[in-house]
């Protein structure tokens, strides 16, 4: 069983920024990891859970990316949530699947979301649709 430790991932900025998420808490089998910022409202979060039921292994990863701006009213500045982006990933495999089958499934999904998949990237990040 792996230990919940800090996880780092780079974004797609022209100079990539490394985002480090620290384990925060576990509740009802769901771990929450937080990228701490100076304004808690703007902290990026991800949750991960894994459970077994009906002969399946179900793993969920959810990423929450809030965008916050400073709003000034009557000379008082305060952070304000402007919008939030979400990603939900669910992996469902049979308990009898091999480790290599699961690794291949995750690998293909990971590579489908890569920037080099030009058409997929236009759909995933550009808000476009296939025709």
Give the model's pLDDT for residue 83.
96
Q: What is the CATH number of the domain that holds 50?
A: 3.30.380.10
Domain-embedded: residue 115: yes
Give the model's pLDDT for residue 2.
87
Instruction: Count Cα neighbours of 61 within 13 Å in the Cβ-side half-sphere.
Output: 4
Give the model's pLDDT for residue 89.
96
Give the model's pLDDT for residue 130.
94
85 and 111 assigned to the same domain: no
Give the model's pLDDT for residue 46.
96
* Most distant CA atoms of the chain, gap in Å: 62
pTM: 0.85
120 and 83 assigned to the same domain: no
Could you write out the DSSP letters of every residue in 8-53?
A: EEE--SSSPPEEEEEEEEEETTEEEEEE--SSGGG-EEEEEEEEEE
Instruction: Count Cα neighbours of 86 within 13 Å in the Cβ-side half-sphere.
Output: 5
**How confident is the model over 36-57, as pLDDT tens digits?**
998 999 999 999 999 999 999 9
- The low-confidence residues of the chain, meaning pLDDT below 70, are none
Give the model's pLDDT for residue 43.
96
Give the model's pLDDT for residue 1.
80
Q: Which domain holds residue 113?
A: 95-125
Q: Which residues contact 44 (CB under 8 A, 6 or more apart)?
A: 19, 21, 34, 35, 37, 63, 64, 65, 66
25 and 87 assigned to the same domain: yes
């Amino acid at each position: 069983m792996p230990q919940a430790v800090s996880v780092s991932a780079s974004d797609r900025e022209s100079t990539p920024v490394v985002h480090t998420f620290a384990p925060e808490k576990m509740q009802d089998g769901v771990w929450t990891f937080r990228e701490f910022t100076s304004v808690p409202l703007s902290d990026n979060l991800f949750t991960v859970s894994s459970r077994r039921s009906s002969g399946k292994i179900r793993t969920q990863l959810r990423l929450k990316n809030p965008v916050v701006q400073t709003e000034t009213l009557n000379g008082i500045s305060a952070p304000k949530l402007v919008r939030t982006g979400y990603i939900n990933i669910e992996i469902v495999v049979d308990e009898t699947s091999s480790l290599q089958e699961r690794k291949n499934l995750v690998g293909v999904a990971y590579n489908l979301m890569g920037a080099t998949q030009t058409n997929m990237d236009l759909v995933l990040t550009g808000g476009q649709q296939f025709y």
